[in-house]
Structure 1
């Protein structure tokens, strides 16, 4: 059974060390390879842009004083085509102005060097945070999360940063609430990924955390207004409205998305039905947060579930957001063996692995079959990651409804007396 195989990773200190070293070496190798790729060394001079390229372009326009233009897709597309030397992928910009400030320093570095510093730095922060949370389960979590970690490195996205920030919130929510509040406030860079944890903190009355987070959001918003002008907020909101239209029309690479919306839309349902499906899943996810706060489960388990469902709320969620699942998994693992049978744990591990690996494997398949600049919309690829997370949500809700009662022991046949 998968649960027994993965949990065997923890069987001895030497085995745990061996697995951790193997995963870390593999992640370092992928990072080095992608550094050459982003730097356009060797045979990668003619390549399509990836996510960190978009970060680099936006960083340059922060200093040029025309940042508002990156929030208009037609203008941004021209910038991307100039950087790519031709055709480019579909990458609208919908990040809040605070994220523009965060990436601004990378404008002074070549894109390859910037990618290396950003990815290696955020990955290191994430791994240190995950290690502090997982303890002796660190190796097991790393193995389960490996596909998600690999694809986040591959595109140079910020999943390590958001995962680390939420991890810092969880580590400090009890004793250093001001630090947890600073980290939660920093999640303004991707606010939709902080909704579930914010609701849990509200339900458990962590006022210092919430107050500090609100102060960070307000102060950073004021700073952005002073630096970029009030029009930056109008441009940002306009970009969000524009992206909603793009999402409805299926312009995004939906097979890489992990939302219920993407799963239902790619399954052939109308966009309106997929929206209602996403709303229903988001409602169940938030209900799971409240159940965790109210049921007789450990605070660590309840907080872990809140972190895990954070990636299930927004229709705009990608596989590179999945490192956050590792933070939640690290929190629930100590209680998971008490609350579940091996079969249930196998299902949970399998769904996390599937959600992380599917987009990676499909991207590789499409590239091999149709070339590096393939348009996924021209070749059908379902959004399986969304279905995997919906199934994971059902399992988590079942565990919360079960409460703190241990899972029933497997039935045993009583031998007949002779």
Structure 2
């Protein structure tokens, strides 16, 4: 037991060769799982009655409605569901609601211009390439692409046909360019408004860091997106979006329509344990306040930028009550920034082991939450965030890396 503890503390168990081996094994298993999934499916419907790409069906259906001049119908669960069934020739499929701001209909419009399978392939390949480019830019090392590709959140996101790749690419790209091209960073942050729940804490970090040009560019980008959507789709589309938010909040979030094990927030964890909605919101609000205060302190401090970026990426996941396991792709941004700092200055106690836990947790979080109600993903995220703050405080106190070891290449 002592040897295990010492190994976890030092991180010596995770050698470069083991890391490559784990990545290759998981990547091979992922390919086999997806190949089997496709082979046993009935056309575009899998054996469980769900579409291939599951959640992508709501994007494609919303795009189809936009092509028909009925974009606002995407915000009606009944009409959206009918459009989703029409995509699959009237076959019965589950409802996958459309919850995005109107300007994201531009992506839906684009992918719906081609057959469903081609649109899904384009969506996943293009967004995956953007994700890899962002992570590789943050951590330009030989092993980065393999670790980023085998990252279990990639498997989850592909299975759902979801937008985790795009979210990670936009946030990771914005943080990468923040110092060198603040206006470009602001544009990327503005585009991230397609998932506004992930942008709650970004203004606090930017204000604390005095990033005024980035704030200005982000504001102009959001204004432009809203203006273009008004011009192209009319004001009624925004009214439809506003009306749909009550369904999203009450049915999808508060009543757990998505499923508590899938939602990886403290709100979901509290609700899954039987607490009422006000108690869950209190827990989420308390965590949000702590995150906001700690981020403001960190971004105002002279801590290394990599630690600030890692903390913001992680806090963006923790701050929202509605975060699903496919959103854990954003964890790659936090891991990459933290690893970049530690590979330069050395790793402290438990940092390697916790990075490994953060890397593997998307593979385990949903199943463990479904069996035991233990919110493993949330617990690992909180531990990772605390580790970042600890690292910033220790680095600041010592004015030197003070690391116990330097990572192997």
Q: How does the TM-score come out when normalised to structure 2?
A: 0.84
C-alpha change, 1:250 and 1:111, in structure 2 (3 Å) is same
Q: In the aligned structure 2, how far is the partner of 1:43 from the partner of 1:57?
A: 15
Return the alpha-carbon distance in structure 1 between the equivalents of residues 17 and 214 of structure 2: 34
Q: Is 1:279 aligned to 2:285, yes or no? A: yes
**Number of the residue aligned with 1:240:** 245
Query: Which region of structure 1 is more displaced relative to structure 2, 288-297 or 176-185?
Result: 288-297
Distance verdict in 2 for CA 1:334–1:7, change over 3 Å: farther
Distance in 2, matches of 1:88 and 1:194, equals: 32
- Residues 45-95 of structure 1, C-alpha deviations (whole Å, 9 max, x = no match): 873131111111011011111111111223223333444545433522210
Quote the Cα distance in structure 2 between the aligned partners of 1:324 and 1:173.
Answer: 17
1:41 maps to what in 2?
43
Q: 2:360 aligns with which of 314, 328, 353?
A: 353
Whether 1:169 and 2:171 are equivalent positions in the alignment is no
What does residue 130 of structure 1 align with? 135
Distance 1:28 1:100, change over 3 A: farther
| 8 Å CA contact 2:11, 2:351 repeated in 1 | no
Kindly tell me the number of residue pairs found equivalent between the two proteins: 390
> 1: distance between equivalents of 2:228 and 2:38?
33
DSSP 3-state at the match of 1:274: helix
* Mapped partners of 2:25, 2:354: distance in 1: 24
- Counterpart contact for 1:125–1:161, Cα < 8 Å: yes
Residue of structure 2 equivalent to 1:396: 388
Q: Is the 8 A contact 1:355 1:386 kept in 2?
A: no
What is the aligned counterpart of 1:318 among 307, 315, 324? 324
Number of the residue aligned with 1:342:
349
Structure 2 equivalent of residue 154 of structure 1: 159
2:208 to 203, 216, 220: 203
SS at match of 2:314: helix
Pick the aligned partner of 2:68 from 64, 89, 98: 64
Q: What value does the CA root-mean-square deviation take over the aligned residues? A: 3.2
CA–CA distance in structure 1, aligned partners of residues 305 and 326 of structure 2: 27
Rounded to whole Å, the distance in 1 between the matches of 2:300 and 2:57 is 44
Q: 2:335·2:355 contact (CA, 8 Å) conserved in 1?
A: no
TM-aligned CA distance change 1:5 to 1:150, over 3 Å: farther
Q: Corresponding residue for 2:231?
A: 226
Alpha-carbon shift at residue 157 of structure 1 (Å): 0.4
On the 8 A contact 2:269/2:373 being kept in 1, the answer is no
* SS of 1:258 mapped into structure 2: coil
Q: More deviation in 335-344 or 390-399?
A: 335-344
Q: Tell me by how many angstroms 1:183 deviates.
A: 1.0
How far 1:24 moved relative to its partner? 6.5
Q: 2:297 aligns with which of 278, 291, 295?
A: 291
The two structures have a TM-score, normalised by structure 1, of 0.82
The structure-2 alpha-carbon separation of the partners of 1:144 and 1:291, relative to structure 1 and needing over 3 Å to count, comes to farther
Runs of 5+ consecutive residues of structure 2 not aligned to the other structure: 1-6, 405-409
Judge conservation of contact 1:30–1:153 (CA < 8 Å) in 2.
no
Q: Choose which of 111, 114, 128 in structure 1 pairs with 2:116.
A: 111
Farther off after superposition, 159-168 or 70-79: 70-79
Deviation string 1:152-173 (CA, Å, 9 cap, x unpaired) is: 1111101101111112111211
